[in-house]
Amino acid sequence: MPGGLASAGGIRVKAPMRDEAVQHFATLLSSELATERQRSATEMMQVESDFVMRGMFQSGARVHHTALRLSEGIVRHRKFIFEKWTSYVRPRMTSVSDGDRAAFVGVALTAIDAATSMAKELHQSRPGFNNLTGPLAEISKVGTRERRLLEAEVNLYMTTPTAPPSQTIHVATHGTNSPVNVGSGSLNQQINSAEGMADLISALNGLLEAMALVPRPELADVREILLEAKEEAAKPSPNRLKLSTILAGAGGIIQTVAALQPAWGVVHQLARTLSLAD
């Protein structure tokens, strides 16, 4: 497909379109953005209805709560983008050109920018909001934060190997959690229980506490991503691909900080036990 400006339902990105998968990815994100617009509009109406019933329609609290709902929509869309990135883009990373890799990144970042613009537009459309700059500034702040976080997630993902480990055997057991060695190969127990994920969450908490004691700017985005990993691990059915991707990418940065290596070692060992790392 020739190069040019790709467009899919409002999400546009200047990129060499040699792979229709890039266009399809843009369409997926654009479709969800339309869904998010409807969801956010509905939430705003619910907030306004509540304040009307309380006789507080003209209050600053209504403005604050509306901006909060719109900001939550930006966060939702960022999470959707990354979920689609891990499930849709990952299988293609080893076979696409550098140009198309850049195009995938461009689509993802353009999509989060579109979500922020949409939130601002919805805010401005409400009665009495058009002259209020404070809530718009808050929405912009959330949009900037979520864009930075998405970019960090994508960049970590781009450096994560897609090939599965070759010399590791995983088995499910119901006994002790300690790894065992068999012959000359490595045999890791695979624990799929809630207890295993609970241990990982505890280890992530320890790592995050250690990071709080190391005031290095380059760790800020990694901290945000690890918080999302902790949130994912707490779900009834965690997305294991997402967890392994985040941990692999974060580890590359954390291991460069000597003070964090003990805490990271605990996280990494649990990740290996849970078959989330090699």
Rounded CA separation 252/88 (Å):
23
140 and 116 in contact (C-beta within 8 Å)? yes
Q: For 25, what's the count of Cα atoms within 13 Å in the CB-facing half-sphere? A: 31
pLDDT computed for residue 257 by the predictor: 86
pLDDT in tens, 6-41: 343 455 544 444 468 888 888 888 888 888 888 888
pLDDT in tens, 52-108: 887 777 666 777 788 888 888 898 898 888 888 878 877 777 777 777 778 888 899
108 and 20 in contact (C-beta within 8 Å)? no
pTM for the structure as a whole: 0.59
Rounded CA separation 160/92 (Å):
13
Rounded CA separation 115/143 (Å):
8
What is the torsion angle, in degrees rounded to the nearest 10, for the CA atoms of residue 40, residue 44, residue 45 and residue 48?
170
- Does the pLDDT of residue 172 top 50, yes or no? no
